[in-house]
Chain A
């Protein structure tokens, strides 16, 4: 029989196969099968778990497709299609009529065709082109807000949770305040006051400086400002929990300083939690941007945003429901994908789950 733990395992299983072994005592013992069990790191286990979660895969696929559409869609789309007569500029190619701001007043409210793949809106702009630009805006805002949100939340949350004291008190008061202040109203307040002069401030910033997008930066700042206290409070709670764990005590006993403790022991344990929180947060941010543009305070014409597309098409629901459905369905897909993906991530990264 084999040696060490592996042999022990065989013996314990042996009761069934023992008769077979006894029949041929002279034969040399067959070589043990190769140990195929891999020793996976927790991350690998999580990834494998995620790989078998069909819902997460579908959601991730949808999101990847939409990101790809936003980033490489427009340049490709602007090279597809023939020359077409235009109202004002003679014959134009797809480089112009597939631009999100190009209006063709004789081609209003069209259904999908070979030239306009998703049809045109009420002033004859290509809906697919506007959709891709809107996706780009949503993504940019989501990324900017999330960076600020996670960065500030992590910093303040860890300081408050690890050191306690006045930072903790200040954070608690501040989150109380932000709880009572409806974030949407705060954003409206900021946009209402600074929105009109935003264009002159930000016309040098890429993407945000494009016509119609000037208020976007104000919106992003406001969204980030209203979301980070919640993140900080969450991080603080988790830090407090981690601080009580034994490995922290052990690290203390080894003489680890505060900085080393935070960087090498606390933050790595927070990362998976933060990833889940950020995934769930992103859908809120995207809804926020779309909502503010829908109310008319975010992106304005001739820029494009999913919310603005809904607002533009809202009066036409009765006559041209297609135009309002396209951005709404895409927005719903994004929001649901992020929510489901966040849920799946939480399951996958949870060290206490029992199956993998």
Chain B
């Protein structure tokens, strides 16, 4: 187990190194001179040289990369170019609670609705329940979040006009507060963020459950006279959950960037929104930090899924 963990950790670190190198090298070759942009009309050659030296941009590339890595390890991503006196960590700190709130509710919803829906579909395979459920899941899976978001917003507007409601269209209440107005604002974005995951888990759960229901041990359980309930919930369900649990690990990794479009569509000031703003402002340190954060999330998610896999299914040998 330990050996396996170490191996996965090392490969994860290598992936992170690769990602950091790509982000660094793209930034290094940027045709836009950040110092010049920063100075604007106050540009003087001497000042330019001084600032360049102060930011460490006059060093050779390997030295810069080394410094960059060294600071990353200390969780210091430098200072933002656009907001001159704020550190990148400070900027990201505003977005983290909002993004995690959106995505954790979304993930919870996904799991609590998607997996039971898929299991139900498998148990009632080829009935109208199954067909409806899978059609909805297919549509939600094929369509990207922003299209569903547009439809939802138009629906909200229509309901507001039709029934005289005052439901907010694009807003996010106070993070981690749940007054009525907060819930109103958060409900739709969370639902839409969860929709894609719902569809994915429902489809996966259905396939996995159908496969398990076809196994010999399920037939044996039925043959020895167990009630259908016991067969499904005690024997089949546990085995059907194995592939699902590993996917949960993977989706945890996507928590941070997964909400890119939802945050844009509903004007939620999370990390993804910060990243979008940073790109349009050419604020490179912030972009770098968000890319690294996202990659870190995915590597951690992968690791988590590997660990979960071995815990759930003891047949898997760790090499």
B-contacting residues of A (Cβ < 8 Å)? 173, 176-177, 179-182, 184-186, 188-194, 196-197, 283, 287, 290-291, 294-297, 310, 314, 317-318, 321, 324-325, 328, 331-332, 335-336, 339
* Residue B56 CB within 8 A of the other chain: no
A11 to chain B, nearest CB (A): 41
Q: Which residues of A contact B143 (CB under 8 A)?
A: 332, 335-336
B32 touches A180 (CB 8 A): no
Q: Closest chain A residue to B18 by CB distance?
A: A177
Answer whether residue B107 sits at the interface, using C-beta atoms and an 8 A cutoff.
Answer: no
Q: Is the CB of B290 within 8 A of A185?
A: yes
Tell me whether B157 and A295 are in contact (CB under 8 A): no
Q: List 17 A-B contacts (CB under 8 A).
A: A176-B15, A177-B19, A181-B19, A181-B294, A185-B291, A188-B276, A189-B26, A189-B291, A193-B30, A193-B31, A196-B31, A295-B260, A296-B280, A310-B146, A332-B143, A336-B142, A339-B142
Known A-B contacts: A189-B287, A291-B146, A328-B150. Give 5 more (CB < 8 A).
Answer: A185-B291, A196-B282, A287-B144, A290-B146, A324-B153
9 smallest CB-CB distances across A and B, nearest first, come from A192-B279, A328-B150, A339-B142, A193-B30, A177-B18, A197-B31, A321-B154, A287-B144, A180-B15
Chain B contacts of A317 at CB under 8 A? 150, 153-154, 157, 169
B309 within 8 A of A: no
Quick one: closest A residue to B142, CB to CB? A339
Asked if residues A190 and B150 are in contact (CB atoms below 8 Å), the reply is: no
Q: How many Å from the CB of A316 to the closest CB on chain B?
A: 10
Q: Are B169 and A318 within 8 A (Cβ)?
A: yes
Residues in B with CB closer than 8 Å to A318 are 157, 160, 169
CA A328 – CA B153 in complex, angstroms?
Answer: 12
- Please state if B151 and A180 are interface contacts (CB–CB under 8 Å): no
B295 touching A181, Cβ below 8 Å: yes
Main secondary structure of the interface of A (DSSP, over half): helix
Look across to chain A and name the residue whose beta carbon is closest to the beta carbon of B299: A180
In the complex, the answer to whether B282 meets A324 with C-beta atoms within 8 Å is no
Contact across chains for B276 and A296 when beta carbons are under 8 A apart: yes
Contacts A295-B264, A321-B158: A190 and B26 contacting too (C-beta < 8 A)?
yes
Does B195 sit at the interface, judged by CB under 8 A? no
CA distance A314 to B264 in the complex (A): 10
Whether B147 pairs with A193 at a CB distance below 8 angstroms is: no
Could you tell me the distance in whole angstroms from the C-beta of A169 to the nearest C-beta in chain B? 13
Give the Cβ gap from A219 to chain B, nearest Cβ, in Å.
Answer: 12
**B15 contacts across to A, CB distance below 8 A:** 176-177, 180
- Please indicate the chain A residues that have their CB under 8 angstroms from the CB of B290 in the complex: 185
Shortest Cβ distance from residue A296 to the other chain B in the assembled complex, whole angstroms:
6
In the bound complex, CA of A189 to CA of B294 (Å):
13
On chain B, the residues within 8 Å of A332 by CB distance are 143, 147
Q: How far is the CA of A218 from the CA of B171 in the complex (A)?
A: 32
Contact (Cβ within 8 A) A184 B157 = no
- What chain A residues lie within 8 Å of B67 (beta carbons)? none
Q: Which of B's residues lie within 8 Å of A, judged by CB?
A: 11, 15-16, 18-19, 22-23, 26-27, 29-32, 139, 142-144, 146-147, 150-151, 153-154, 157-158, 160, 169, 254, 257, 260-261, 264-265, 275-276, 278-280, 282, 284, 287, 290-291, 294-295, 298-299, 302
Across the interface, which residues of A come within 8 angstroms of B282, CB to CB? 192-193, 196
> When the two chains form the complex, which single residue of B19, B151, B154, B276 contacts A295, counting CB atoms closer than 8 Å?
B276
Q: Of A185, A189, A297, which is in contact with the most chain B CB atoms at under 10 Å from its CB? A: A185
**In the complex, how many residue pairs between chain A and chain B have their CB atoms under 8 Å apart?**
122
Residues of B close to A287: CB separation below 8 A: 144
- Complex Cα gap A314–B26 (Å): 32
Contact across chains for B147 and A335 when beta carbons are under 8 A apart: yes
Count chain B CB atoms within 10 A of each CB in A173, A196, A328 and give the residue with the most: A328
Measured in the bound complex, the distance between the Cα atoms of B159 and A321 in whole Å is 13
Q: Are A182 and B294 in contact (CB under 8 A)?
A: yes
Kindly list chain B residues whose C-beta atoms are within 8 Å of the C-beta of A331.
147
Contact status of A192 and B278, CB under 8 A, knowing A197-B32, A294-B261: yes
Min distance, Cβ B159 to any Cβ of chain A, angstroms: 12
Scoring B31, B142, B143, B151 by chain A CB atoms within 10 A of each residue's CB, the highest score goes to: B142
Instruction: Give the docked Cα–Cα distance between A176 and B10 (Å).
Output: 13
With a cutoff of 8 Å between Cβ atoms, the chain A residues found around residue B287 in the complex are 188-189, 192
Q: Report the minimum CB–CB distance from A142 to chain B (whole Å).
A: 15
Tell me whether A328 and B265 are in contact in the complex, defined as CB-CB below 8 angstroms, given that A193-B26, A321-B157 are known contacts: no
Decide: B31 and A191 in contact? CB cutoff 8 A. no
Cα A335 to Cα B145 with chains together (Å): 12
The answer to whether B32 touches A196, judged by C-beta atoms less than 8 angstroms apart, is yes
Which one of B32, B150, B279 contacts A191 once the chains associate, using CB atoms below 8 Å? B279
A297 near B280 with CB under 8 A, answer yes
Cβ of A291: which chain B residues have Cβ within 8 Å of it? 144, 146, 261
CA distance A262 to B31 in the complex (A): 42
- Between A189, A191, A290, the greatest number of chain B beta carbons within 10 A of the residue's beta carbon is seen for A189
Chain A residues positioned under 8 Å from B257 (CB to CB): 182, 184-185
Chain B residues in 8 Å Cβ range of A193: 26-27, 29-32, 282, 284
Q: Which residue, A188, A190, A290, has most C-beta atoms of chain B within 10 A?
A: A188
User: Across the interface, which residues of B come within 8 angstroms of A190, CB to CB?
Assistant: 26
**Docked complex Cα distance between A167 and B250 (Å):** 27
Give the chain A neighbours of B153 by CB distance below 8 A. 317, 324
Judge whether A176 and B11 touch: CB under 8 Å: yes
CB-defined contacts of B16 to chain A, threshold 8 Å = 180
CA distance A180 to B160 in the complex (A): 42
Contacts of A192 in B (CB 8 A): 278-280, 282, 284, 287
Q: Which residues of B contact A186 (CB under 8 A)?
A: 22, 291
**Is B291 a contact of A181 with CB atoms below 8 Å?**
yes
B residues less than 8 Å from A184 (CB atoms)? 257, 260
- Cα A188 to Cα B157 in complex, Å, equals 31
Chain B residues closer than 8 Å to A180, beta-carbon distance: 15-16, 18-19, 295, 298-299, 302
